[in-house]
Amino acid sequence: MQPYSIDLNAPKKAAHLSINSDVLAQAKMKLINLSEICEKSLIEALKEKCRQEWLESNREAIEEYGRFIEANGCFSDKLRCF
């Protein structure tokens, strides 16, 4: 998996989208910048997808670490006062 990285200075590129006509009309009436909203939403979707991919690719290690902690405790268990 590649690390999450987006070049925010990359040039813009036109894209064809199909959007519910009523949603589009209302967004235009409210002067909502469709490009900005789409870009922000796509960035969030990419972050979430990368997070899910990382969790899936590291699932075994995370589960193994959980089993280790369950069996052996955490290194700081004797140091904590809470």
Q: Note the pLDDT tens digit of each residue in 11-67.
A: 999 999 999 999 999 999 999 999 999 999 999 999 999 999 999 999 999 999 999
pTM equals: 0.72
Report yes or no on 11 lying in a domain. Answer: no
Domain holding 28, by residue range, is: 21-72
Which pLDDT score, from 0 to 100, does residue 37 have?
A: 96
- Does residue 10 sit within a domain? no
More confident position, 55 or 8 = 55
Residue 47 belongs to some domain of the structure? yes
Count of structural domains within the chain: 1
Question: Which residues lie below 8 Å from residue 53, measured CB to CB, with a gap of 6+?
Answer: 1
Q: Does a structural domain hold residue 6?
A: no
Residue 4 belongs to some domain of the structure: no
DSSP structure string for the chain: -PPP---TTSPP--------HHHHHHHHHTT--HHHHHHHHHHHHHHHHHHHHHHHHTHHHHHHHHHHHHHH--TTTTT---
In a domain, 36, yes or no: yes
Q: Is residue 79 part of a domain?
A: no
Confidence of residue 73 (pLDDT cuts 50, 70, 90): confident
